[in-house]
Chain A
Amino acid sequence: MTAATTLSELRNRRVVALDDATEVGEVKNIVVDRTASRVERVQVAGRKRSPELVDWDRVRSVGDDAVMIASADAVHESRDEEDDDSYVRGDIPIVGAQVTTTQGFSAGEVTDLHIDTSSGDVLAAMTTEGRVSADRIKSLGTFGLIIT
């Protein structure tokens, strides 16, 4: 069974630890890998001033009302061993990112992402110029989303 959701639906959803029922915060954003093919982390806005992160493999289920994570200690700050901080923290915006084709033409802006909640795979990007399926997505970086 696959269940799909969108980034916009995930936003502001409560993040709750399974083991002790602590509410650690709410979803602020998601962090995808460089090829924008899967969700790597969930950015959580909690008690700390700067957003914290939960690795996708610590997410146990994505419900209609809450994102359940394994335990409250799954929430961490950015990882030191990562080479590119902006990716890790999710500082590269997804919604609002400009879309450029591999031919260097502008193709609108990202408005939302469709995500498979069990695998974390990115299924498609919604843009101001229509739906872009995952097989057309090449990468996401400081210049925005690159598509074929």
Chain B
Amino acid sequence: MTLAIASLVLGSDLPGRPIVPIDCGDDIAEVKDVVFDSVSHRLIGFTLNKRGWFRGTLKATLPRESVTAIGPVAVMVDAASSLVDASNSAESLDVSSHGVTVIGTRVLSAGGDDLGLISDIVFETGPAPVAAGYQITTDDGSIFVPISAQLALSGENLVLPESATAFIRHDLAGFGAAVTDYRKTLESSQ
């Protein structure tokens, strides 16, 4: 099934969302944190907490590739074996190397306008989800800008390429279509 318009979710909404394997229906874990590579603007995966009152960090992590879908009520995986034991370093998410947080980074337009600070990351919700954009908090509300390989990021600033400015949106609902359109223009320009 391919969706014409990307279905999106904010990264800040994900912590606490249950992880449910389709083959057993148990809530085996919940999202603790989103692991994001701010240099390549890529979602790596999720660290996990146990479910319930005495929840603590689970050793297992969930790589992006193993996600079947991010739904409003649960993050679905095919089986409990989709989780990767973090003590198995070859397969685990290297959280430490992606520690630079993108939240709070200042975003400038290619023309030199200050657009605001990154306040959230927007992810697609389908299988093997990817980052679609950033939410930027401006002086008068928030805007959404699409992610592409051309986004230049230093420790201090992120520069939005000229090609992306036409696809800035003020609401998440309209942003899904904008992301799809933006990708089409990137593909056709290659």
Q: Do A and B come from one complex?
A: yes
Interface centre among A35, A98, A103, A140 (most CB of B within 10 A): A103
Q: Which of B22-75 contact A (CB under 8 A)?
A: 22-27, 68-75
Interface centre among A98, A102, A143, A145 (most CB of B within 10 A): A143
Any B CB within 8 A of the CB of A146: yes
Q: What residues on A are CB-neighbors of B20 within 8 Å?
A: 100, 104, 141, 143, 146
A138 in contact with B23 (CB, 8 Å): yes
Interface of B is mostly: loop
How far, in whole Å, are A138 and B74 apart by their CA atoms in the complex? 15
B81 to chain A, nearest CB (A): 14
- We find that the number of chain B residues with CB closer than 8 angstroms to chain A is 19
How far, in whole Å, are A143 and B27 apart by their CA atoms in the complex? 5
Q: What residues on A are CB-neighbors of B21 within 8 Å?
A: 139, 141
Q: What residues on B are CB-neighbors of A34 within 8 Å?
A: 23-25
Any B CB within 8 A of the CB of A144: yes
Chain B positions within 8 Å of A, measured between CB atoms, are 18, 20-27, 68-76, 125
A100 in contact with B24 (CB, 8 Å): no
A104 in contact with B24 (CB, 8 Å): no
A141 in contact with B24 (CB, 8 Å): yes
Q: Which of A116-148 contact B (CB under 8 A)?
A: 138-146
Any B CB within 8 A of the CB of A101: yes
Q: What residues on A are CB-neighbors of B125 within 8 Å?
A: 103-104
B26 in contact with A142 (CB, 8 Å): yes
B19 to chain A, nearest CB (A): 9
Any B CB within 8 A of the CB of A106: yes
B18 in contact with A102 (CB, 8 Å): no
Q: Which of A41-72 contact B (CB under 8 A)?
A: none
A11 to chain B, nearest CB (A): 22
